[in-house]
Structure 1
Amino acid sequence: MTRDFRWLLVGQTTSQFGAQVSGVAIPLLAVLGLGATPFELGMVSASSTIGFALIGLPAGAWVDRCRRRPILVASDLVRAGLLVSIPVAAAFGVLSLLQLMVVSLLAGFARVFFDVGYQSYLPAVVGKDRLLAGNAALETIRASGQVAGPGAGGWLVSAIGAANVVLIQAVSFVVSAVSLLAIRSEEHVVRRESRGLWPEIREGLAYVARHRTIRAIAVTSAVNNFAFAIASAVNLVFLVRTLRLTPTWVGIVLAIGSVAAMLGAAATPRLARWFGPERIIWVSLVFAGVLGLLTPFAQPGGLTVLAVIGLAAGEFGQLIYAITSVTLRQRVVPQELLGRVNATMRFLLMGLFPVGALLGGVLGTAFGARTTLLIAGGLIAISWLPVYAAISRAGGNTNPGGAALSEVPSEEGRES
């Protein structure tokens, strides 16, 4: 593990934990402190993610025009400044739901630039031959935050108040910015003549549409995210009303899923060596899809374990898929196009999420939570087919004009 990557890990460990803590604090602040209705709470939540649909594609073109690290640092500092305004306003008694929505919206815009730039910047820090190990380490940290963060957030809200907990996330973004500034790796930017925003956006879209493997990953990921959104609309209803679990047991079941995700992230480099870095992409989805179908067959009592196994297997397999598919994209896509390709993928995935969530609510109301979960599970169970077909047809060479990814030396044993 290099010095620069250690600094990256420090920043992301801090900011991911802060994000998970704040993810509990802001909804509680809206509900308990400001008396938000379910609709108003939904507006706050939607404000934080709509940025991907509004500026996701232009952000990719802008990110490809310059060095990524300054963009990441600026995104962190902007989010820190926006979040600080919440406890300040609360201290003066002027905090409102409108401010929460505006802060969530603007912080969401900054997150778009960070997420697109971050995936494009990682190759400059770790090198293309260590991307899989780098992505796995970062996703392990993210999953760890999902295990510890919400519980810590709930305790901290009780101890110091929701508004003050938001300040913790602001500080975590400052730590992330400082960690990024400590990185010394030189980032090479391919300078190009600007042809206007839309032609540059179109280049990213065209690359995704033209490249067989990247296009297949886009289709598979879109189907997966859409199915996940459908399931997310009824998951809690199924656990509480169908399986009759108490809130404590619901938390335990979800925590087990987060632990499974963490284990999946940690195991990804070894599994990629066993199965091959291309084959593991679709194998992980077969695993998630087949075992994930156990969830809707769970019953109250002892058969609740089917839901535990299904949800945990889904988290395990999906995170392996996310790490390996993103790694393939970072290796294959030319550096000067990576920002726009990443932005295109994020636009497709995040844009489908609200549609899937809405459909999940409609299906849950019309047919019940169990049937809705079966539909979502069925989509996941077949979602691997486009990637399988593309990789099989490529014969292991998913990098046109270059070596097959399976020929890249394994990260395992190369990290110090």
Structure 2
Amino acid sequence: MTSSPRRRRERHPGQSGRRPYPPRSTQRLLPTGSPWRDQDFRTLFGAAALNQLGTNTGHVATPLLALTALDASPAQVGTLAALSTLAFPSSACRPGPGSTTCAPAASSSPPTSPGDLARAALFASLPLAWWLDALTLGPLYAVVLLGGCATVFSDLGSQSVLPQLIGREGLVRANTALVTLMSAADIAGRGTGGALVAVLTAPFAPACSSAAYLASALRLTGIRATPAPAATARTPLATQIREGLQHVLGHPELRALALTATLNNLGSAVLNTMLPVLFVREPGLSPTSLGPFWAAGGVGLLLGARLARPLAGRLGDGRALLLSLIPAALLVPLLGRSPWLWLAGGAWLLTMMKIGSDNVLGVSLRRHLTPDALMGRMNATFRFTLTGALALGSATSGLPAELTTLHTTLWTGAALLAASWTPVTLSPSRAAAR
């Protein structure tokens, strides 16, 4: 039996006998190592810096505008602050990797920021309305409410696109850089906001926020990459919410951490909402001093975040959490003319320093006590609880100020902050001493 001759492979005209190379992939190669090597991350970081500058400048200018130009009452200032944070709990609909999300997945086009453009237009309308003698509390309420919604939309977009741009290897360093940026923006942006109110007056300071948001949106157009759409899981949202609540509330350590952070946010929201009223109406204080006072709190947050890991390395995460500088908050309501202003400013710095440290240590413990399968659900539960506490504290802060006195409200917020360390202290778990 003879074998059939091997057939020669036919070649098309112009085709060589060499094995062709596979087509070059059109998918972008993600950077490894430091995210700073990637131009798109540098562009995104620059946009985030402009974004934070606009947010913190507006944070100072908006309540001062209501107080100085519209003679708002403490209850109206509280309503203004509550509306600005009302949309924040909705960000918890995005639990994180491996979980269903209410937010749209990253698109297949380069990232843009309609949220930044919307905020630029909203804040630009404030000085225009004042110049036309048409500014009232109603439009101001609408601006801060829609601006808060745009902030959530913009933040979720950034969270979606970041892993797509730099890959998971560089995600920790990238998030560290962005968190540091936010702390620095608290210092620079709020200090700048106070200076702008002094130079431009409160009605025109929001124009600088508008310019910063517009510059952020324009910078985002410089991102060259086309991120791939993010995959979403199929687990129903109601199931995720139930599992997250069961895990957090059923775990003694997580329950204590959640209650501590909630008291922190409630107390700080009450104080931060009423501080502009105090700086405008208290004899011996000036509205232009509010920005530097808030900037001192930003310094404290940054110092606390930086010192948290060395402190935990010596004492352990749990023991570091038990250290309390929070009673320093009880000195904040003593705000008044010098030297009380300096004493309260130092107490505010120490209070924020403790909160900054607790933020870092609390996140570490939460991750240690949560299995990977529930990580997104746990984070979503904390995010909803803490942002809800901000909204609740802002909304209710004006009521005691109207019924009693402004200083009574400040003492209430300070007492909540001073008591925030007790849930961890009284936790029956031994993890607090870990």
Same fold (TM over 0.5): yes
Structure with the largest fraction of helix: 1
Q: CA deviation at 1:99?
A: 2.5
Alignment of 1:344 with 2:381, yes or no, is no
Which of residues 292, 295, 304 in structure 2 aligns to 1:258? 295
Q: Which of these two proteins has the greater Rg computed from alpha carbons?
A: 2
- Provide the rounded CA distance (Å) in 1 between the counterparts of 2:73 and 2:406: 24
Q: Is the contact made by 2:194 and 2:291 (CA closer than 8 Å) also made in structure 1? A: no
> Which residue of 1 is the match for residue 118 of structure 2?
78
- Alignment deviations for residues 278-321 of structure 1 (CA, whole Å, 9 cap, x no partner): 94576367343244445568998767765343222102221232
| 3-state SS, counterpart of residue 234 of structure 2 | coil
Within 1, Cα distance between the matches of 2:260 and 2:160? 21
Partners of 1:370 and 1:339 lie apart in 2 by 30
Q: Which runs of 5+ in 2 are unaligned?
A: 1-33
Structure 1 unaligned runs (5+)? 396-416
Q: Which residue of 2 aligns with 1:407?
A: none
| 1:308–1:208 CA distance, 2 compared to 1 (3 A) | same
Contact 1:282 1:388 in 2 (8 A): no
Check conservation: 2:75, 2:398, Cα contact below 8 A.
no
Alignment of 1:223-302 (within 5 A): 223-232=263-272, 246-248=284-286, 255=292, 258-259=295-296, 261-262=298-299, 264-265=301-302, 268-269=305-306, 271-276=308-313, 279-280=316-317, 283=320, 286-295=323-332
Structure 1's 246 and 383: CA in aligned 2 closer, same or farther, altered over 3 A? farther
Q: Could you tell me how far apart the structure 2 residues matched to 1:112 and 1:386 are? A: 35
Aligned to 2:177: 134
Contact 1:16 1:141 in 2 (8 A): no
**What are the Cα deviations for residues 250-289 of structure 1, in whole angstroms up to 9, with x where unaligned?**
8658735633532541563454134239945763673432
Taking the aligned partners of 1:218 and 1:359, their CA distance within structure 2 comes to 25
Q: CA 1:246–1:137 in 2, change beyond 3 Å: closer, same or farther?
A: same
In structure 2, the partner of 1:12 is 48
Q: Which residue in 2 is equivalent to 1:162?
A: 203
State the Cα distance separating 1:95 from its structure 2 match.
Answer: 4.6
1:354-393 map, 5 Å: 354=394, 357=397, 361=401, 365=405, 368=408, 372=412, 375-385=415-425, 389=429, 391-392=431-432
Selected match of 2:105 from 66, 73, 98: 66
Matched, 1:21 2:57: yes
TM-score for the superposition, normalised by structure 2: 0.67
Amino acid at match of 1:110: A
- Could you tell me how far apart the structure 2 residues matched to 1:306 and 1:272 are? 28
**Distance of 2:342 and 2:208 partners within structure 1:** 36
Corresponding residue of 1:191: 232
- Name the aligned partner's letter for residue 142 of structure 1: A
Instruction: Tell me, in whole angstroms, the C-alpha distance in 2 between the residues paired with 1:285 and 1:180.
Output: 42
Cα 1:349/1:41, change in 2 over 3 Å: closer
**TM-fit CA distance, 1:328:** 6.4
Residue 330 of structure 1, CA deviation: 7.8
Task: Output the CA distance in 1 between the equivalents of 2:417 and 2:398.
Answer: 17
Q: Which amino acid aligns with 1:112?
A: V
Q: Which residue of 2 aligns with 1:217?
A: 257
Whether contact under 8 Å (1:147, 1:259) holds in the other structure is no
How many matched pairs? 386
Contact 2:117-2:213 at 8 Å conserved across structures: yes
Does residue 148 (structure 1) correspond to residue 191 (structure 2)? The answer is: yes
Structure 1 residues 158-186: Cα deviation after superposition (integer angstroms, max 9, x where no partner): 3xx725x3332223223333445528596
16-25 vs 264-273, which moves further: 264-273
Whole-angstrom CA distance in 2 between matches of 1:239 and 1:35 = 14
Task: Answer whether contact 1:205 1:344 (CA < 8 A) is retained.
Answer: no
Report the secondary structure of 2:230's partner residue.
Answer: coil
Normalized against structure 1, the TM-score is what? 0.69
Structure 1 stretch 146-155 or stretch 289-298: which is displaced more? 289-298
Query: Which AA in structure 2 matches 1:145?
Result: A
In structure 2, distance between residues paired with 1:301 and 1:170: 34
Please name the residue that 2:83 is paired with.
Answer: 47
Provide the rounded CA distance (Å) in 2 between the counterparts of 1:99 and 1:186: 37
- Tell me: CA distance 1:169–1:191, structure 2 relative to 1, closer, same or farther (3 Å): same
The 1:239–1:361 alpha-carbon spacing in structure 2 relative to 1, beyond 3 Å, is same
1:111 alignment partner in structure 2: 151
AA aligned opposite 1:316: M
Identity of aligned residues (%): 22
- Greater displacement, 98-107 / 140-149: 140-149
Secondary structure at the counterpart of residue 181 of structure 2: helix
CA distance 1:280–1:66, shift in 2 (3 Å) = same
